[in-house]
Amino acid sequence: MRRVIFAIAVIGGAVFGVSQALGASEAITAIGPDPHYGKASFTIDRGTTATFDNQDSSATTHDVTAFDTGGAKNLPLFRSATISAGQTPVNGTNALGAGTYRFFCTVHPAQMTGQLVVTPSASPTVAVKVLSKKVGQVSKSGKVKVKLTGVLASTGVSVTARVGKKKLGTAKGIDVSAGASSTVKVPLSRAGKNFLSHKKSAKLKVTASPPGDQAVTAVQRLN
């Protein structure tokens, strides 16, 4: 029997195109002479490095720094350089998941605060491929081998294996780096393992679900 492998979600060239410009991204601005950000909330697309634009005509220095830590060496999730004029990147925003993040100016922390809204990606942020081929091997090992590839960095990804409506098992809390691949072993539940042990073949569906982004499913015929 010919093996059938295909992805239900159409990914196209997105696996190789990490930058996704959907047109919603806007620069974070600072204006004066009384120091404040241009507005209370700014929006960027998932996977985008935000820009900080200091438009303060008094040439006062400002920056953008996340309230939350969690970046490299437990530093702020994102931050820009401190500048008196012009533009500079807000490093770290490209790794943020969809959601809302608060930030402030370290020079004027009491006066300048704002929020950054990261919109969900319009296309899949991970690609998934089922590596397991034999129903007997999967049943005996109690694991389904899956390859995940990051289109964008994603944290807390869940991977679930099913045959029809029967859930076989789930792996949770998987972190995927942009442009990198990793092999994930999805553990089968006792009921899932027992279900496969009575099968000579099975149409396996594996779904990867990044929080806040599109789920993507791949199908593999196990013989």
pLDDT tens string 158-195: 999 999 999 999 999 999 998 999 999 999 999 999 99
221: CB partners within 8 A, 6+ apart: 1, 2, 3, 4, 5, 201, 202, 203, 204
Q: Are residues 94 and 166 in the same domain?
A: no
* Verdict on whether the full-model pTM lies above 0.75: no
Q: How far apart are CA 104 and CA 37, in angstroms?
A: 9
Q: Are residues 94 and 131 in the same domain?
A: no
Q: Is 176 left (phi over 0), alpha (psi -120 to 50) or beta?
A: beta
Confirm if 112 and 37 have CB atoms less than 8 A apart: yes
Exposed/middle/buried for residue 15 (C-beta within 10 Å: 0-12, 13-18, 19+) = middle
Q: Are residues 130 and 73 in the same domain?
A: no
Q: Specify the number of domains making up the chain.
A: 2
Residue 23 belongs to some domain of the structure: no
Q: What is the pLDDT of residue 32?
A: 86
Q: How far apart are CA 220 and CA 203, in angstroms?
A: 6
- β-pairing, 202-209 vs 41-45, is unpaired
Q: What is the pLDDT of residue 7?
A: 36
Q: What is the pLDDT of residue 44?
A: 96
**pLDDT band per the 50, 70, 90 thresholds, residue 24:** low
Reference 130, options 205, 210, 209; nearest CA is: 205
Reference 179, options 160, 153, 199; nearest CA is: 153
Q: Are residues 136 and 159 in the same domain?
A: yes
Residue 212 belongs to some domain of the structure: yes
Question: How would DSSP label each residue in 2-66?
Answer: ---EEESS--GGGGT------S----EEEETTTTEESSSEEEEETT--EEEEE--TT---B--EE
Question: Which pLDDT tens digit goes with each residue over 200-220?
Answer: 999 999 999 998 899 999 999
* Domain limits for position 214: 5-16+123-222
Confirm if 19 and 47 have CB atoms less than 8 A apart: yes
Residue 21 belongs to some domain of the structure: no
pLDDT above 70 (res 40)? yes
Q: Are residues 34 and 113 in the same domain?
A: yes
Question: How would DSSP label each residue in 167-220?
Answer: EEEEEEEEEE-BT-EEEEEEEPPHHHHHHHHT-S-EEEEEEEE-TTS--EEEEE
Exposed/middle/buried for residue 40 (C-beta within 10 Å: 0-12, 13-18, 19+) = exposed
Q: Are residues 10 and 66 in the same domain?
A: no
Of the residues 80, 99, 119, the one at which a domain ends: 119
Q: Are residues 42 and 67 in the same domain?
A: yes
- β-pairing, 143-150 vs 126-130, is antiparallel
| 90: CATH | 2.60.40.420
